[in-house]
Structure 1
């Protein structure tokens, strides 16, 4: 029974500790990286739709 009490004490944070509302450096870096990836994905999606709508625009005029 003693081990179970220790185990639950490690999982549940004490009530008097308030969680830190500010983000850590790792969280800020991850958030910025995800935003950067979403912007890159948006640019690629727009580029693909442009190629699908007008495929001959991206082709070179001389084929040889």
Structure 2
């Protein structure tokens, strides 16, 4: 700060004028993909524990 002045950072759009609906659709798609990955990861963890805990 110079001379006690406070500078406020403003968010300036970068010229990308995509509509909000497409951004929301992209976010929903990515969220669904991440949820599917977590479900797949949980299934793999369960199978690994079943293999480790099985007594031959």
Normalising by structure 2, we get a TM-score of 0.58
Give the equivalent residue in structure 2 for 1:37: 37
Equivalent-residue separation in structure 2 for 1:26 and 1:37 (angstroms): 17
Structure 2 residues not aligned, in runs of 5+: 1-7, 14-19
* Runs of 4+ in structure 1 over 4 Å off: none
Aligned-pair Cα RMSD in Å: 2.8
Unmatched segments (≥5 aa) in structure 1: 1-7, 14-19, 57-64
Tell me how many residue pairs correspond in the alignment: 41
Please, what TM-score do these two structures have when normalized by structure 1?
0.52
